Structures are given as C-alpha cells and as structure tokens.
Amino acid sequence: MKPQLQPTPTEIAMSTNLLHYYEAIERASQDMLDAARDGNWDAVVKLEGACALLISQLKHAAADQKLASDELQLKSRIMQRILVNDAEVRVLAEPWLEGLDHLLGATRATLH
C-alpha cells in the first residue's frame, strides 16, 4: 500500500484559489437573481458578463490546479446553489424576453 502524500502548502493555496472562483461565481449568480427579482435587467446583463469572465478565469486556473476531495464536496454544493439561482433567473426572465421579442417584432414590422 502506497503512503498517502500530503498536499504541499502551495497546492493547498492553489486549490483554495479555485474555490474562491466558485464562491465568486455563486455571489454573482445570487446578485443576478436579486437584480432579476427587482426587474433590473441591465444589472442582470452586466452580472452575466462578470460571471462569464469568472468562468473563463476558473477554466484557465483549473487546467493547472485540482481540488482536494473535501473541497470537491464544497464545490458540488456551490454548483447546486448556482444552478438553482440560474434556473430562477431564467423563470423571471421569460416574460421580459417575451416582451422584448414582441417589441422587436413590432419594430421590424414598422420598418418594412
């Protein structure tokens, strides 16, 4: 049986940085949900851009770093909360998107 190697302080710091990305994405998704509940769609769009940037940075960082097994459980809980927030934002956005589509359809009809 191989002895289990302990992570180095650098490896621990690197994986913690990954968790910070997940936590930042979760905060941004919660802020998006709050803005959607308030009907502040400009803020939702801006926060969506911030999420996209964080996700891109996370993908880049994750290529060189790995989470420890206990951190994977935390990541899973964070991801579940992000997905719940995202689903609720989508439900709240549907009427707004339909109104926008209707408005754009009316604009196109007057241009022809």
Listed residue (68, 61, 62, 65) closest to 7, CA to CA: 68
Of the pLDDT bands very low, low, confident and very high (cuts 50, 70, 90), residue 5 is: very low
Per-residue pLDDT of 73-84, as tens digits, reads 999 999 999 999
pLDDT at 39 (0 to 100): 94
Q: Which CATH architecture has domain 13-111?
A: Up-down Bundle (1.20)
Distance in angstroms (rounded) separating the CA atoms of residues 29 and 22: 10
> What's this model's pTM, rounded to 2 decimal places?
0.73
Backbone angles phi, psi at 19, to 5 degrees: -60, -35
